A = this chain, B = another copy of it.
Amino acid sequence: MERAGGEFDLIRHIQAGLSVKSERIMQGIGDDAAVISAGSGPDVLITTDTLVEQIHFDLSTIPYEDLGWKALAVSLSDVAAMGGNPVCAVVALGVPRSWSAETVDRLYRGIDDCSRAHDCPVAGGDTVRVQRDSVITMTVFGEVDHGRAFLRSGARPGDDIWVTGCLGNSETGLAVLNSNADSSMYSEAVSCFRRPVPRLRESRWLRSFGGVTSMIDISDGLCSEIHHLCRESETGCRLYADRLPLADAAVKWSGVRGQSPVISAMESGEEYELLFTLEPALGARLDKEWTGPTAMTRIGEMTTASSGLVLVEADRESRIENRGWDHFRS
């Protein structure tokens, strides 16, 4: 539920000013979801995400149904990144005067699609008028076995760095929609941008597989997320450009633009893939035992903090900058 850069600093600042602590809050501000102890039962996960028109979405590139899907998928991705199962969602919707009841219906149809696909019922909400730009705040409540949530802070030097799926689709999809290109040539990328699939199944499998030491979802781009993992785990990292699972569409589109697809893979936000670290001894077994349709790819390893964050491209090494989609700075 937390984004990078300018906003991240603001959140740290806010956190420092909050005086009420509770032993029940096992993980508060600073991870994908808050983790609350619920006594003898599973821990409770809570994550909230706001999408604001003109800042996070533009209705010229996303139909209302897909916007509804995406609003829920974004929060479900946070639950996946914590290794949890969703229980239910509540929707706070700010509706501009220009929207008809049919428009609201279309949005809810998309929420309902995503709700059904991921078994996360909508339990309630609040619907209010806004003067101009629509706002959707989705809060998802989930569960994870007590003390078993995947945090950002558990990685150690030597752990391997893995990522689910492929990278660059979402940014490519949006770029295609904002261009004069034939979007039907990039349908997978457009679909990833409009209807991202939260990696709940992959996360669940990894939880039972074991050996995962940290996890985050890629909402702001790989560059930015690896910075979060390294900071919270107090490590450095080495990523290998030739191992990045580049999306076909990103490769094709990068060719059109005459730019390296590695940049797209490193910086594409709203991917909603999982970035995680794994005990190195378990990599071969993971490769063998994971047979799901989503790829899982080892893209590098954690190092000591003093080694910094490094991207290895052929025989060249460069520092990974902390940049990504920071809606707050824009």
Contacts and interface: CB of A to CB of B under 8 A. Distances in A.
Contacts of A233: none
| Interface footprint category on A | 35 or more
Nearest to A22: B121
Contacts of A20: 112, 115-116, 119-122
Nearest to A25: B123
A234 interface: no
How many monomers of this protein are in the complex?
2
A7 B111 CA distance: 19
Contact of A121 (B11, B18, B95): B18
Contacts of A139: 46, 48, 90, 92, 137, 139
Interface string A125-151: 111111111010101010000000000
A52 interface: yes
Given A24-B87, A39-B41, A141-B44, A128 B50 contact: yes
A328 B19 CA distance: 35
Interface string A94-134: 11000001001100110110011001111111111111110
A330 interface: yes
Contacts of A123: 25, 28-29, 34, 36, 46
Given A52-B94, A104-B10, A124 B17 contact: no
A117 to B, nearest CB: 9
A327 interface: yes
Contacts of A22: 87-88, 121
A14 interface: yes
Nearest to A326: B129
Contacts of A127: 7, 10-11, 14, 328
Contact of A128 (B13, B55, B108, B116): B55
